[in-house]
Structure 1
Amino acid sequence: MKKIYSLFALLSLFMLSGCTIKYNFTGTGKIDAKTFQVNFFQNNADLVEPGIDRTFTLALQDLIMNQTNLNLVSVNGDLTYEGEIVDYRITPMTATAVGSNGDVGAAQNRLSIRINVRFMNKKKETDDFEKPFEFYYDFPGQDLPTGAVLNDALKTIFERITQDIFNESLAKW
Structure 2
Amino acid sequence: MILNRLNKPLQIIMLLITAIGLSSCVSYSFTGASIPPEAKTISIQYFDNNASFIVPTLSESLTLDVKDRFSSQTSLILINKNGDLQIEGVITDFKTSPQAISGDEAASNRLSISVKVKFVNLIEPDKNYQTTFTRYEDYASSLNLADVQDELIKKINEMLVDDIFNKAVVNW
TM-score range for the pair, normalised by the shorter chain length? 0.7 to 0.9
- 2:159: which partner in 1? 160
Residue identity opposite 1:108 in structure 2 = S
In 2: Cα distance, 1:53 partner to 1:109 partner: 23
- 2:33: which partner in 1? 28
- 1:91: which partner in 2? 97
Q: Which runs of 5+ in 1 are unaligned?
A: 1-6, 98-103
Q: TM-score, normalised by structure 1?
A: 0.84
Residue identity opposite 1:166 in structure 2 = F
Residue identity opposite 1:86 in structure 2 = T
In 2: Cα distance, 1:62 partner to 1:88 partner: 23
In 2: Cα distance, 1:95 partner to 1:17 partner: 60
Q: Please tell me whether Structure 1 or Structure 2 has the larger radius of gyration of its CA atoms.
A: 1
In 2: Cα distance, 1:117 partner to 1:29 partner: 19
CA contact (8 A) 2:43 2:78 kept: yes
Q: TM-score, normalised by structure 2?
A: 0.84
How many residues matched? Answer: 160
SS at match of 1:50: coil
Residue identity opposite 1:109 in structure 2 = N
Residue identity opposite 2:157 in structure 1 = F
Q: Deviations over 1:102-140 (max 9, x none)?
A: xx4321000000000011112222222211011000000
**How far 1:24 sits from its partner (Å)?**
3.5
SS at match of 2:107: strand
In 1: Cα distance, 2:100 partner to 2:8 partner: 64
- 1:101: which partner in 2? none
**How far 1:53 sits from its partner (Å)?**
0.5
In 2: Cα distance, 1:159 partner to 1:112 partner: 13
Q: Identify the match of residue 70 of structure 1 among 71, 76, 81.
A: 76
In 2: Cα distance, 1:46 partner to 1:74 partner: 28
SS at match of 1:168: helix
- 1:108: which partner in 2? 108
Please say if 1:120 is aligned against 2:126: no
Kindly, what percent of the aligned residue pairs are identical?
Answer: 34
In 1: Cα distance, 2:44 partner to 2:92 partner: 17
In 2: Cα distance, 1:140 partner to 1:152 partner: 13
SS at match of 1:48: coil
In 1: Cα distance, 2:162 partner to 2:8 partner: 41
CA contact (8 A) 2:34 2:171 kept: no
Greater shift in the superposed pair: 21-30 or 68-77: 21-30
